[in-house]
């Protein structure tokens, strides 16, 4: 680490201002440890990609064993910021990315074992000697042929409605300031969950095709967590090449309440109302308009036909 220069891409607005506070802590520690660094502050939506494109012009290089590696890109922000950076480097999977989580949910950090405490996360980062490959989902819109990399999950139905409600909640900023950011998702769930209508869904894996007439929740995930720490599939792992899909059908309110209780105790996978698919590739079709989300980014309300597979990229973890 002596010759490694850290290039900190910082979203000060992550976690309703937590990013700015935590950057000051990181800056102080790096100066004390005499670790060279440069800082790039994001100022508007999409700025992450512009910063990355500039750094690709002679600063960032692929990692190769037994060759000097001098410049490391480190993202300090939430899952949304990291999502933008990963997709800006979609065609450069061997350029490593370090991560200091500073968002509201920080599900990717949970999923890959990075501490959500900024001082511990920095210690972890500085202790790394070489990057390791981590699996991401590659989601392709079949109609537009647009492909994006997914850190956490893609949801259609109640999952996406909860994300949209949380994103626009006036309480989210206050909860983040009180270090209770995950509660914004709980609050959004309580206000949305009984209003979500059922919808038809078609799932195609390498071995089967299954239709659902009354789907309620549909989440394709890369690791266990969504919604700020809820383990939607405790068996999922970002260190395998499997995609996990969870579908819950519309059920009576009391049955739904019981399923939610089981979810928080990680005992929900045995429910007869829950369907789980695990495969290296799958296709998801929703023929009627529904809200969607990808890594917490709202995809709007529309029909969906999405094809998923996994790909690997290097992270400094």
Write out pLDDT tens, residues 166-190.
766 554 454 444 454 455 556 556 6
Give me the mean pLDDT over the 206-227 stretch: 94
Of 158, 76, 78, the C-alpha closest to 110 is: 78
- Rounded to 5°, the CA angle 65-68-69 comes to 85
- Rounded to 5°, the CA angle 286-89-218 comes to 20
pLDDT of residue 104 exceeding 60: yes
The pLDDT of residue 1 is 47
| Residue 134, token pair as written in the block | 């981590």
User: How do residues 63-91 score in pLDDT, each as one tens digit?
Assistant: 999 889 999 999 999 999 999 999 999 99
Of 228, 229, 270, 264, the C-alpha closest to 246 is: 270
Q: Where are the domains of the chain?
A: 5-130, 137-311
Alpha helices in the chain (DSSP H): 14-32, 47-55, 79-88, 107-112, 118-127, 158-167, 171-177, 183-192, 253-264
Q: In whole angstroms, what is the distance from residue 303 CA to residue 163 CA?
A: 18
- Give residue 150's Cα distance to chain centre: 6
Fold agreement between 5-130 and 137-311: no
pLDDT of residue 229 exceeding 90: no
The pLDDT of residue 187 is 59
Give me the mean pLDDT over the 95-116 stretch: 96
129-158: buried (b, 16+ CB within 10 Å) or exposed (e) per residue? Answer: eebeebbbbbbbeeeeeeebbbbbbbbbbb
| Residue 32, token pair as written in the block | 């004390």
Long-range contacts of 47-51 (CB under 8 A, 24+ apart): 48/9, 48/11, 48/81, 48/84, 48/85, 48/88, 49/84, 49/85, 49/87, 49/88, 51/9
Residues in CB range of 235: below 8 A, 6 or more apart: 224, 244, 269, 278
Please identify which residue in the block is written with the tokens 């109640």: 158
Task: Evaluate whether 244 touches 186 at the Cβ level (below 8 Å).
Answer: no
Fold of 5-130: Rossmann fold (3.40.50)
Residues in CB range of 261: below 8 A, 6 or more apart: none
User: How do residues 275-303 score in pLDDT, each as one tens digit?
Assistant: 999 999 999 999 999 999 999 899 999 99
Q: In whole angstroms, what is the distance from residue 254 CA to residue 234 CA?
A: 24
Fold of 137-311: Tumour Suppressor Smad4 (2.60.200)
- Rounded to 5°, the CA angle 111-115-121 comes to 130
Pairing of strands 243-249, 132-141: unpaired
Residues in CB range of 281: below 8 A, 6 or more apart: 205, 206, 243, 307, 308, 309
pLDDT tier at 192, thresholds 50, 70, 90: low
Give me the mean pLDDT over the 252-264 stretch: 80
% residues pLDDT > 90 (the chain): 74
User: How do residues 4-27 score in pLDDT, each as one tens digit?
Assistant: 999 999 999 998 899 999 999 999
Give me the mean pLDDT over the 213-223 stretch: 95
């Amino acid at each position: 680490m002596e010759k490694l220069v850290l290039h900190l891409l910082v979203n000060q607005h992550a976690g309703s201002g937590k990013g700015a506070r935590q950057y000051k802590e990181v800056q102080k520690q790096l100066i004390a440890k005499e670790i060279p660094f440069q800082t790039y502050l994001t100022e508007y939506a999409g700025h992450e990609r512009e910063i990355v494109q500039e750094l690709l012009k002679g600063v960032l290089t692929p990692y190769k064993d037994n060759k000097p590696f001098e410049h490391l890109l480190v993202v300090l922000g939430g899952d949304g910021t990291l999502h933008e950076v990963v997709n800006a480097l979609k065609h450069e999977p061997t350029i490593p990315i370090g991560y200091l989580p500073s968002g509201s949910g920080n599900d990717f950090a949970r999923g890959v074992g990075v501490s959500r405490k900024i001082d511990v996360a920095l210690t972890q980062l500085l202790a790394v000697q070489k990057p390791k490959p981590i699996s991401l989902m590659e989601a392709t819109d079949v109609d537009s042929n647009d492909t994006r990399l997914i850190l956490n999950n893609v949801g259609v139905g109640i999952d996406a409605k909860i994300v949209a409600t949380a994103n626009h909640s006036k309480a989210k900023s206050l909860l983040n300031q009180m270090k209770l950011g995950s509660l914004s998702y709980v609050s959004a769930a309580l206000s949305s969950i009984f209003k979500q209508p059922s919808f038809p869904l078609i799932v195609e894996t390498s071995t089967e095709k299954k239709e659902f007439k009354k789907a309620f929740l549909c989440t394709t995930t890369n690791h266990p967590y969504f919604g700020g720490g809820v383990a939607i599939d405790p068996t999922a792992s970002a260190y395998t090449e499997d995609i996990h899909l969870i579908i819950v059908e519309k059920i009576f309110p009391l049955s739904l309440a019981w399923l939610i209780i089981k979810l928080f105790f990680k005992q929900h996978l045995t429910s007869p109302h829950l369907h789980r698919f695990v495969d290296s590739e799958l296709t998801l079709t929703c023929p009627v308009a529904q809200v969607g989300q990808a890594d917490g980014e709202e995809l709007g309300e529309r029909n969906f036909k999405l094809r998923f597979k996994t790909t690997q990229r290097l992270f400094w973890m």
